[in-house]
Structure 1
Amino acid sequence: MQRYAFFAETAVETLAITTFNAIMFIIKQSKDLARYLQKQRSVKKTIGFIPTMGALHQGHLSLTKKAGEENGVVVCSIFVNPTQFNDLTDFELYPKTLESDILLLEKQGCDLLFLPDVAEIYPSGISPATAYELGYLESVLEGKYRPGHFQGVCQVMHRLMEIVRPDRLYLGQKDYQQCLVIGKLLELIQSPAEIIICPTLREPGGLAMSSRNLRLSAREKQNAQGIYEALSYISRNIKPGEVKGIAERAGALLIQKELTADYLTIARAEDLRIIDVWDGQTKAIALIAAFMGKVRLIDNMII
C-alpha cells in the first residue's frame, strides 16, 4: 500500500494516513501512544477505545462509530493475543486482513490505530505475572470449554488499559461473557473506565458478524444461521417454568443444520448463573457455542 506518510514527531514507526480527507495515525509503540493521548487529554478530549484482534467487520465499525459520537478521540487496537488461545491451530488460522482493516477504520473516522507487536504488549514475556480472581464467571460456558481463555483476555486487556487509559471502552454483545469478565477485571484493577456494550450486528440471515465467519464456506455460512434460528426460537417460545425442554428443542434445530454444540444454555443476564426454572421476570440470556465444521462460533440473545 502506498498511502502512508511518516509522522515526524518520533523516529519510530508512527504513521499517518491522509486518504479520504482525514488523518488516522498508526502507532506501534506504547510510549508514543501515551504521548499522543496526553496531548488530547490536555485539551479536555475524552478517549473512546475499541480493542480488536483485526479481521474487522461492520460490527467493529459500529463500535467505532459509537465511540466517535461520544468521545473526542477514538482509539482502536489490533492485536491477535496469543495468551487467550488454548488451541494453537485456532491461533495460527485466525484471519489477518490488516490492509482492509486500515481502510475500514479510516473510512469510519477512527483517529488512531494502535498496532503493537507481542514484545510491546508483553515486554517481560507472555507468561502471566498475575492470576485474576474471576470467580464463577471463569467456571462456566466459555470458561469451561476454553480453559485459561479468560486469564489470557484479562492479561491483554490489563496491559491495554494501562497503555490507553480510556474514558470509555466499547465492546460487542456477541462476546457477552467476555464483557462481564472485562467488567470484573476493571473492578480488580480499579479502572474508572466506563464499559459500553453495543448490540450484535448480524448478516442478512441472522448469523452474528464475526471475524471467524471468514473461515466458513458459503454452505457452512448458510447452515451456521441455525445458531440465530435456535436463539430466536427460545426468545419466541420461552415461558415461566422449567426451561430444559425449550433448550432441547432449540438444540435439535442446531443438529438439523449440522452444528455441533459445546453448550446451549439459558442463564441470568446479570451474572450468567444457569437457569433451570425461569420466573418470567428475571432478565435472562440464551447463549450458544457451536462448531460449524472446524470453526467455533458463539452467539447470544437477551430474553
Structure 2
Amino acid sequence: MRIIKTTDALYKTIQFLKKKQKKLGLVPTMGNLHKGHIKLILLAKKYADIVIVSIFVNPMQFDNLLDLKKYPQTFIEDCLVLKNEKVDILFAPKISEIYPDGLKMHTYIQVPKLSKIIEGKSRPGHFIGVTTIIGKLFNLIQPNFSFFGEKDYQQLLIVKTFVKELNYPIKIISLPTIRLKNGLAFSSRNKYLTNIELQKASFLYKIIRKTINIILKNNGKKLHQTINLAKMSLIQKGFLVDIFNVYNSQTLDDFSEKNKKNIILASVWLGSTRLIDNKKFTLLN
C-alpha cells in the first residue's frame, strides 16, 4: 500500500493510473476504521482496479470544536487494517494541505434544501463541510466509483444530488448499514460509549423496527401517535431524542400516505454521544 500525504503527489499518481486506463474506486473516511469501512473496501474491490481510501478528519463538517478535538484518531491502527485488506493507496493529508488558506473564506459546495433539513437543521453547516470535502476529493482523485454506507442516509442522498447536479462522472454505490449482533450500527463514535451505554444503544434500532411494524400494521394511520410512543420509549430508556420521524426515502419530504417508499431517520443522544440510525420501509397499500 502506498501512503500519499500531499495533493501534488496524489495528482501525479492519479494521472499515471489514468494513462494506464485503471478504474479507480474511492472510499472516503475520517479514519478510526471499523467493520463497516472494511465492507465498503471489499465492495470497492469488486468494481475498481485500484482502491483508494482517504483518511481526513475534516474540521469544516464539525459544528462543535470540542467534538472535533475528541474525535478518535487511530492512524497507525488504520494503516494496519488497510494493509491487511490490500488497499492500493491511502490518501492521508494534513489540514493545511486541504485548506492552505484556512476554512473561513474557503469556497464551499452546498445542496440547498437537503443540507438544511432534519440533521442539517440540528447541525448547521455540517453538510456544507461534508459536500465540500467530498467534492475536493472527487476533484483530486477523479474516481470512477465512490462508496458510502447507508447509516448516514441523509449524507448519502446529498452526495448523490450534488454529483448529479454538478455533472461529476462518478457512480455512487451504497452499502446497507453494517451492525453488531445486537443491532447497533457500527460507528466510530461507539468508542465514546461506556459498556453500559453500549448495551443500551442497541435499543434504538429495536424501537425503529418496532415502530415500522406498527406503521405497516396500521397502513400509515395514527402516525403521530405511533412516533410519540416510540420517542417516549426511548426517553424512558435514557435517550435524549433529537430526531425520530418518518420521511419520504427518496426526497426526505415529510411523510405522506400517498408515498409508498419511506424511511425512519433517528438522531439521539446517549450520555454525551450522538447516535444516528435509520431503516427504510414500503407501505403496501
| Alpha carbons 1:68, 1:109 under 8 Å: kept | no
Q: Does residue 1:129 correspond to 2:140, yes or no?
A: no
Query: Displacement, 1:240?
Result: 2.8
C-alpha distance in structure 2 between counterparts of 1:246 and 1:89, whole Å:
35
Identity level (%) = 36
Cα 1:224–1:282 shift into 2, 3 Å: same
The one-letter amino acid paired with 1:48 is G
RMSD across aligned C-alpha pairs, in angstroms? 1.4
Q: Which of 164, 167, 180 is matched with 2:141 structurally?
A: 164
Residue identity in the other structure for 1:278: E
In the other structure, the counterpart of 2:20 is 43
The corresponding residue for 1:244 is 224
**TM-score in terms of structure 1 length:** 0.88
1:254-290 superposed Cα distances (whole Å, 9 cap, x missing partner): 1232111111010001011111x434x5210001000
Q: How many residues align?
A: 278
Q: Distance between the aligned counterparts of 1:70 and 1:184, measured in 2?
A: 21
CA drift of 1:95 comes to: 0.6
Which residue in 1 is equivalent to 2:173? Answer: 196
Q: Which has the higher contact order (CA 8 A, sep 6+)?
A: 2
Match of 1:285 in 2: 263
Task: Return the letter of the residue paired with 1:76.
Answer: V
- Secondary structure, counterpart of 1:301 in structure 2: strand
CA contact (8 A) 2:144 2:169 kept: yes
* Contact 2:110–2:128 under 8 Å retained in 1: no
Q: Distance in 1 between matches of 2:36 and 2:241?
A: 24
CA distance in 2, matches of 1:153, 1:128: 16
Superposed, which structure 2 residues align to 1:115-264 within 5 Å? 115-238=92-215, 239-264=219-244
Question: Per-residue deviation at 1:222?
Answer: 0.8
SS at match of 1:241: coil
- Structure 1 stretches of 4+ with a deviation exceeding 3 A read 128-133
Q: Is the CA contact (8 Å cut-off) linking 1:128 and 1:155 kept in structure 2?
A: no
Tell me, which stretches of 5 or more residues in structure 2 are unaligned?
A: none
Contact map agreement 1:224 1:257 (CA 8 A) in 2: no
- Consecutive unaligned residues of structure 1, counting only runs of 5 or more, are 1-23
**CA distance, structure 1, for counterparts of residue 254 and residue 70 of structure 2:** 32
Instruction: Write the distance in 2 (CA, Å) between the matches of 1:124 and 1:197.
Output: 33
Distance 1:187 1:124, change over 3 A: farther
Q: Structure 1 residues 155, 131: closer, same or farther in 2, change over 3 A?
A: closer
Cα distance in 1 for residues equivalent to 2:126 and 2:252: 17
CA distance in 2, matches of 1:240, 1:216: 34
User: In the TM superposition, what whole-angstrom CA distance separates every residue of 1:91-141 from its partner, at most 9, and x where no partner exists?
Assistant: 111011111111111112211100000111112321243354423212211
Letter matched to residue 240 of structure 2: T
Distance in 2, matches of 1:61 and 1:216, equals 22
- Cα distance in 1 for residues equivalent to 2:130 and 2:170: 17
Distance 2:28 2:110 in 1: 22
